[in-house]
Amino acid sequence: MNINCNQCLPCCCCAGQFIEKIIYTPTGITGPTGARGPTGATGPTGVTGATGPTGVTGATGVTGPTGVTGATGATGPTGPTGPTGATGATGPTGPTGATGATGATGATGADGADGADGATGATGVADTLAVGTTTTAEPEVLAAVTDSGTENNHIFDFLIPRGATGATGATGAAGTTGATGATGLTGATGATGATGSKGATGATGATGPTGVTGATGPKGATGATGATGPACKCPVCVKGILTSHSLSEHGDSPVDFSDYEVIPSDSQLFSVKGNCITLKEEGLYEVTLNVCYAQSHGMEGEVALLLNSQQLPCARRKLNCADYGVLLSHTLYAAAGDVLSVALSGTRGYKDLAALISVKSFGTPD
């Protein structure tokens, strides 16, 4: 999947982590075998002479026009199957027809040899990927992949068009004629049997079952790379980021975010005063708070995120004496002028209590 954030600030979808969209062109399903024409009435079979050796198969002649189908006679006894002649040379491949409907999945080929290990890339932000819905569209609709998840939790919805029915390819040229094999010895002529009376025309038999699928042929050459699909529009993009670090030596003293940084530096999305961060535009915000400490002296405090002095839902964590830290993350939709703050309680005995906050603004989704 190609992602275009319309020149927005770097985010998880614009920081070099691209997911390449892969479109497979399947092979069409082989059409059903036509019904077998009726067989004429057969007289009694004479004694079969010894079978001579089979000559090399000659080239197939041009097919004549199909005659009118005669009435179906009674089926005569099946003669013994002769040995199979050698296969003629394969004619050149005809031009490729248009893509047919999706065929059944072929057997999996053997794994190729492992490539050499590439250089270790830089550590990126941990994302999760999941498949959402898969929808089949008409052949003329372009395939598309839409990310309906969040910044770090991607859910991909697929829109895949049906393949149009391909035209029949031209018949390849006939192979060269093979050498004629030596004539086998003529078997003794059997006595001619009496001609049987003509039987009544039987009803047309039901079509026989489809034969067993032959072995998979060799893998064809890799086709040319298809044209690049349409760019995927990123549903939300980061407009600005605020980060701040606060250190408190004596626990319950207010967390002060006055020492902060905004990216980009000329952004007017935030204003900070002490423990209060004012969100100056309406839109979607993601808040991440990391609180750590060296010692708690057996006490168990709490930290909470507040919006306009009211605790946000599910935005409170206990500071356990054995953990030495806690991470709290929350996504919210705020109005212009809403005030975000952090509240600590029961932490007077904590030593080297530090809070690191990060606020991302995504603006108003399209």
Which tokens sit at 25?
Answer: 């062109």
**Least confident interval from 14-18, 67-71, 143-147, 244-248:** 14-18
Mean pLDDT for all residues in the chain: 78
Confidence at residue 23, expressed as pLDDT on a 0 to 100 scale: 40
Confidence at residue 332, expressed as pLDDT on a 0 to 100 scale: 95
3-state secondary structure of 347: coil
CA atoms within 13 A on the CB side of 219: 8
Q: For residues 103 and 216, give the distance between their C-alpha atoms in angstroms, rounded to a whole number.
A: 14
Query: Which contacts of 208-213 are long-range, i.e. CB under 8 A and separated by 24 or more positions?
Result: 208/36, 210/32, 210/33, 211/33
Q: Does 264 sit behind a cis peptide bond, omega within 30 degrees of 0 on the bond before it? A: yes
Most confident segment among 80-84, 252-256, 264-268, 298-302: 264-268
Summarised one tens digit per residue, pLDDT across range 39-97 is 777 777 767 677 677 767 767 767 767 767 767 777 777 778 778 777 777 778 767 76
Summarised one tens digit per residue, pLDDT across range 176-200 is 887 887 776 777 777 887 877 887 8
Q: Judging by DSSP bridges, how do beta strands 232-233 and 240-248 pair with one another?
A: unpaired
**With 80 as the cut, is the pLDDT of residue 336 above it?**
yes
**Least confident interval from 146-150, 229-233, 262-266, 336-340:** 229-233
Tell me which residue of 253, 249, 284, 252 sits closest to 269, measured CA to CA.
284
**Torsion sign across C-alpha atoms 277, 280, 282, 285:** negative
Confidence at residue 112, expressed as pLDDT on a 0 to 100 scale: 74
Summarised one tens digit per residue, pLDDT across range 289-312 is 998 877 666 677 888 999 999 999
Confidence at residue 202, expressed as pLDDT on a 0 to 100 scale: 77
Q: Please list, in sequence order, all residues whose beta carbon lies within 8 angstroms of the beta carbon of residue 66, skipping any fewer than 6 positions away.
A: none
Provide the percentage of residues in the chain whose pLDDT is more than 90: 22
Query: In the predicted model, what is the mean pLDDT of residues 254-274?
Result: 89
Tell me which residue of 268, 295, 265 sits closest to 279, measured CA to CA.
268
Q: For residues 83 and 100, give the distance between their C-alpha atoms in angstroms, rounded to a whole number.
A: 36
Other beta carbons less than 10 A from residue 303's beta carbon: 22
3-state secondary structure of 326: strand
Confidence at residue 281, expressed as pLDDT on a 0 to 100 scale: 95
Higher pLDDT, 144 or 109: 144
